[in-house]
Amino acid sequence: MVGAARDLSVYRQQKRQRRERLAGAVGLIAAAMAFATALVLLTGPLPLALGFAALLGVTVIAQNPRIGLYLLLFNAILLEQWGIVGLDPVTKWFPFYETLSGAYGAGVPVSPVEMVLLVTLAAVVLPRLIRRDGAFERGPLFLPLALFLAFVVGSIAYGVAAPGGAGPFYLNAAWAETRSFFYLGITYVLAVNLIRTQAQLRTFVWLFIVAVGIKSVQGIVRYVYARGNGLRLESIVGHEDVVFFAALVLLLGALLFFGKGFAAVTRRQMWVMAAAVPPLVFTLLVTRRRLGFIVLGVALILMGLVLLRTRRDIFMRLVPVAVLVVVVYTIVFWNNTGALGEPIRAFRSIATPTTERDMLSNAWRDLENLNIAYNIAGSPVTGLGFGRPYAFIVTQPPLDATGFTYWRYIAHNAIYWVWMKMGLVGFMLFWNVIGSAVVLGLVTFRRLRDGYLRSLALLVAGVALMQVFFSY
């Protein structure tokens, strides 16, 4: 009887919560329709479409905030943040990262990605504040991230108040410099509080696999299009896509080496990843992004080191053969300038570039590093502060034509740029975040016994390491 009463009480509570969510959704729809109608009467049809799109997104995310997190992950991989010269891909048509005022002239200086971030965060935090119906999870990286973000805010304030840099404080530049840090903090909070079961984690991984697979196939389509139209393109994928490609290879390798007895859904994920590898490798070969093979090398080296520590039998069977293959490949393709020579060119061109593109790229970065060193030497402890341009003691070719508007504020070398802008303490807090993520991933990998979760823990450590090399 007591159990039945308890079940009835739980049923009534769930029913009341469903009614509250339904009432909230109806209220949101009514408010959004009224707002959109007012806008269309005042300014025309565009705000109506934007209003209804916002209404749909807010309603869905309010009912299930996890959808907002899934949307962020999928679009972060699928949609280009920056255009690709010579191409007009469908994945750039929707300006997910561009403000509504810039994309549509709607007078709203907020981008869709920021709207999704804020709405999802509100859907997670507000119920906990109002009804206190659930604990707010912080997770093991909350403190390092919170300290770093607090120092980011302090560096913005320093940029406003203190004299420094080569010009006055510019708010738009400060936001362009720091917004990715705040995105990181919000998405961390969302992931910790929303991904609570292995089923939800598998959905997250499915979205990652599908998005990377689409980008891999898209690379082939773009290559065929460029060859068919006689186009000479600098690249056929976004600059950051190579990190996602390497991450998929790392995850597949981890599942193969460290997992056993997987459920059927995990085996399906592995088969899909395996099917994505050939177009992924082809795209890496033809995109001529040497950075792609560098970050892939970082992922493979990490895999080898973990094998040495945990699966020495596999290491002794596999790694010597892999080293032999690499040596033979290096000898045969050392001077090859075609697509098959891209992997070795990626590493050789760092010290001895052979193409004009690599020479210009290296020379530009050498000039930038001189300028960064000069600015760090001038303000090693406090940094320049965000929102102020840095000084140039040697002239760098301008990048305005590429669309990189804030190149006088944001350096290509994003590692030492943090020191230049945030000073020594901020630089140390930055490395504390990176180091904490890597250590957490490796320690979790050693402690867990579930092969699926171990592979994802290794992926976390690998992505953090790859991002460091990518940013440097």
In this predicted structure, which of 291-300, 345-354, 367-376, 382-391 has the lowest mean pLDDT? 345-354
**CB neighbours of 345 closer than 8 A, spacing ≥ 6?**
290, 336, 337, 354, 355, 358
**CB neighbours of 192 closer than 8 A, spacing ≥ 6?**
137, 138, 139, 142
Structure confidence at residue 313 as a pLDDT band (50, 70, 90): confident
In this predicted structure, which of 35-44, 52-61, 183-192, 288-297 has the lowest mean pLDDT? 35-44
Question: For residues 458 and 254, is the Cβ–Cβ distance under 8 A?
Answer: yes
Structure confidence at residue 55 as a pLDDT band (50, 70, 90): low
Considering Cα of 415, then 417, then 421, then 425, what sign does the dihedral take? positive
Joined tokens for residue 370: 């001189």
Instruction: Write down the residue that tokens 């509570």 correspond to.
Output: 13
Question: For residues 255 and 195, is the Cβ–Cβ distance under 8 A?
Answer: no
pTM assigned to the model: 0.81
As a whole number of Å, the CA-based R_g of the chain is 25
Exposure class string for 363-400: b at 16+ Cβ within 10 A, else e: eebebbeebbeebbeebeebbbbbbbbbeeeeebeeee
What is the pLDDT at residue 346? 62
Phi-psi region of 107 (alpha: psi -120 to 50; beta: other; left: phi over 0): left
What is the pLDDT at residue 398? 75
Q: Is 87 helix (H, G, I), strand (E, B) or coil?
A: coil
Question: For residues 415 and 472, is the Cβ–Cβ distance under 8 A?
Answer: yes
What is the pLDDT at residue 429? 95
Q: What is the DSSP letter of 92?
A: G
What is the pLDDT at residue 328? 82
Task: Give the helix ranges, DSSP H, for 229-311.
Answer: 241-258, 264-287, 290-310
What is the pLDDT at residue 6? 41
pLDDT at 153 over 80: yes
Question: For residues 375 and 397, is the Cβ–Cβ distance under 8 A?
Answer: no
Joined tokens for residue 388: 């102020």
**CB neighbours of 8 closer than 8 A, spacing ≥ 6?**
none
In this predicted structure, which of 105-119, 334-348, 405-419 has the lowest mean pLDDT? 334-348
**Quick one: which of 257, 255, 247 has its CA closest to 280?**
247
Other C-beta atoms within 10 Å of 437: how many?
21
What is the pLDDT at residue 341? 66
Alpha-carbon distance of 88 to 435, in angstroms, equals: 38
In this predicted structure, which of 4-18, 136-150, 373-387, 426-440 has the lowest mean pLDDT? 4-18
pLDDT at 234 over 90: no
Question: For residues 222 and 87, is the Cβ–Cβ distance under 8 A?
Answer: yes
pLDDT at 348 over 70: no
Average pLDDT over residues 397-406: 72
What is the pLDDT at residue 290? 73
What is the pLDDT at residue 2? 36
**CB neighbours of 393 closer than 8 A, spacing ≥ 6?**
370, 371, 374
Most confident of 20-34, 85-99, 177-191, 353-367: 177-191
Considering Cα of 290, then 295, then 299, then 301, what sign does the dihedral take? positive
Alpha-carbon distance of 249 to 234, in angstroms, equals: 24
Joined tokens for residue 282: 């082809």
Question: For residues 368 and 415, is the Cβ–Cβ distance under 8 A?
Answer: no
pLDDT at 178 over 90: yes
In this predicted structure, which of 98-102, 321-325, 379-383 has the lowest mean pLDDT? 98-102
Other C-beta atoms within 10 Å of 325: how many?
10
What is the pLDDT at residue 191? 92
What is the pLDDT at residue 211? 92
Structure confidence at residue 410 as a pLDDT band (50, 70, 90): confident
Joined tokens for residue 271: 């088969």
* Between 43 and 260, the higher pLDDT residue: 260
Tens digits of residue pLDDT in 213-223: 998 988 888 88
Alpha-carbon distance of 140 to 195, in angstroms, equals: 15
Instruction: Write down the residue that tokens 């399906």 correspond to.
Output: 268
* Between 66 and 32, the higher pLDDT residue: 66
Average pLDDT over residues 339-354: 65
Alpha-carbon distance of 159 to 161, in angstroms, equals: 6
Write the secondary structure of 118-184 as one string of H (helix), E (strand) and C (coil). Answer: HHHHHHHHHHHHHCCCCCCCCCCCHHHHHHHHHHHHHHHHHHHHCCCCCCCCCHHHHHHHHHHHHHH
Question: For residues 435 and 184, is the Cβ–Cβ distance under 8 A?
Answer: no
Exposure class string for 126-150: b at 16+ Cβ within 10 A, else e: ebeeeeeeeeeeeeebeebbeebbe
Average pLDDT over residues 316-321: 85
What is the pLDDT at residue 386? 93
* Between 261 and 127, the higher pLDDT residue: 127
What is the pLDDT at residue 9? 55
